[in-house]
Chains A and B, each alone.
Chain A
Amino acid sequence: MSSEATAAGSARTVLTAADIDRALTRIAHEILEANKGSQDLVLLGIPRRGYPLAQRLAGKLAATDPSVTAHAIVGQLDVTMFRDDLARQPTRAPERTQLPVTGIDDKVVVLVDDVLYSGRTIRAALDALVDLGRPRAVRLAVLVDRGHRELPIRADHVGKNLPTSSFEKVRVRLSETDGADEVLIEAAQ
């Protein structure tokens, strides 16, 4: 795993496992504060790494507020088929979309993703959401905001703002998907 980072040459760690956990704890508190409690909250993770992040956030919400059942408020929202670059990329298989049993109508949906960059993924997510129901409000939580927005989209909750060059690559690794928690910045090849 770490050989990947070394192979890239000048990869440097910008968030450690402890940094990530602290950031998520803070975001969980922000979400509760902004929502004035846990009522009607639904966390929808965007595959692949948004979903484990959403699960972790739900766990933290449940730890803070005993009325929250973590798995009952988490879902996954696949945006593949709503992407605006679908016809410009090699074909990708869609991931599963799974909503909590409560659905999303009149809920406060928090979209969770690992990195906010151009904003195009979030635009696709908003479109996908519209086809699934009508939330009362939609918020956005991301672990990393690296700038370079191409659409008028901003995050409500940010783990860490990372000023980057557009030639750099931000790599988020999570234990659920990649075996370890860390965020790296890799220089352009």
Chain B
Amino acid sequence: MRHLLSTQDLSREDAVRILDTAEEMAAVGEREVKKLPALRGRTVVNLFFEDSTRTRISFEAAAKRLSADVINFSAKGSSVSKGESLKDTAQTLEAMSADAVVIRHWASGAPERLARSGWIDAAVINAGDGTHEHPTQALLDAFTMRRHWSRLAGSDSTAADLAGMRVAIAGDVLHSRVARSNVWLLKTLGAHVTLVAPPTLLPVGVEHWPCEVSYDLDAVLASGVDAIMMLRVQAERMNDSFFPSTREYSRRWGFDDGRLAALDALGLKDTIILHPGPMNRGLEISSAAADSPRSTVLAQVRNGVSVRMATLYLLLSGDLRRTAPTHGVRAVKIPVEIPETAL
């Protein structure tokens, strides 16, 4: 593994390895000294073309706990970024000897371009690209689900997958990178996934995905789910006629108090509720649901740091020359020149 660009090309072995490593990283977060020397001397650049304070600080905390140097590079706003191309930015980072670039971009596929174009040598980690993927989010969701699933089974989560777990993902699937990354990863880990959304918010072609699709949240809940993930819905979608009103949306597809009560009535006492945040309380999720003991929202945030530590560690700790044989440049990097006057 040289980059983390999507969960679609992540093998079960790699996925479990990341989750297992994240378990060890999680232990570090519980210690007095929450720091490891593993990435001393490595430079991680957070390259954000789109605002996302939550994701950025999660990656920043992860890198710092591994003793890497972190540079935050914000190029938010498409009009601003149009001035300097992705290529120029990448080459700037290359000149600064970045070992990893954590990229968040409004354009689907931008991380793939960065990784494959030859503009830069660094490992590329996709921190969310357009409506394509958000692999570390899916990994932290899977991590959260795996802990829950293993606890129910009374077994150690290490080396485990999600075989047999029933997961529903509800909301704006069409525009959701979180949904895409989760569908592939959960499938790889053996979970059974059902997408629930208004038909307007499902992509054409969804019938080829390794999951089931439903328009009826209540029916899906009634059929039994072990985890339900609510996706964020942007109110402005209403203006594009994806649904008639936010009220109608939340009535049909939101996780409201009635559905929270329904879980109890259905005897689904162990069903957890996930949300990638930030939440629109009262739209896709009610406050009672978000704050209920079933909600894993805060655990997800916490687990995000562990999973990102694991990702950074696995991509960056080894011999970069060996893992990237085509990038011989790194091996012959010229040491910093000292001006003669300084001698």
Contact = CB atoms under 8 A, between A and B. Distances in A.
Interface in B1-60: 17, 20-21, 23-25, 27, 31-33, 35-38, 41
B21 A94 contact: yes
Contacts, number: 59
A36 interface: no
B24 A90 contact: no
Interface stretch (B75-83, B221-229, B318-326): B318-326
A67 interface: no
Interface stretch (A55-63, A80-88, A113-121, A159-167): A80-88
Given A90-B319, A91-B314, A94-B21, A82 B36 contact: yes
B21 A131 contact: no
Interface in A45-98: 78, 80-82, 86-97
Interface string A125-146: 0010011110000000000000
Contacts of B35: 131
Nearest to B23: A96
B142 to A, nearest CB: 17
B37 A132 contact: no
Interface residues of A, number: 21
A113 to B, nearest CB: 19
Q: Which of A80, A86, A127 has the most CB of B within 10 A?
A: A86
A93 to B, nearest CB: 5
B126 to A, nearest CB: 19
Contacts of A90: 318-319, 322-323
Given A89-B319, A131-B32, 16 more contacts: A80-B38, A81-B36, A81-B66, A81-B317, A87-B41, A87-B317, A87-B319, A91-B313, A91-B317, A92-B318, A94-B24, A94-B25, A97-B27, A127-B37, A130-B33, A132-B33
Contact of A93 (B66, B314, B320, B323): B314
B33 A131 contact: yes
Contact of B319 (A81, A88, A96): A88
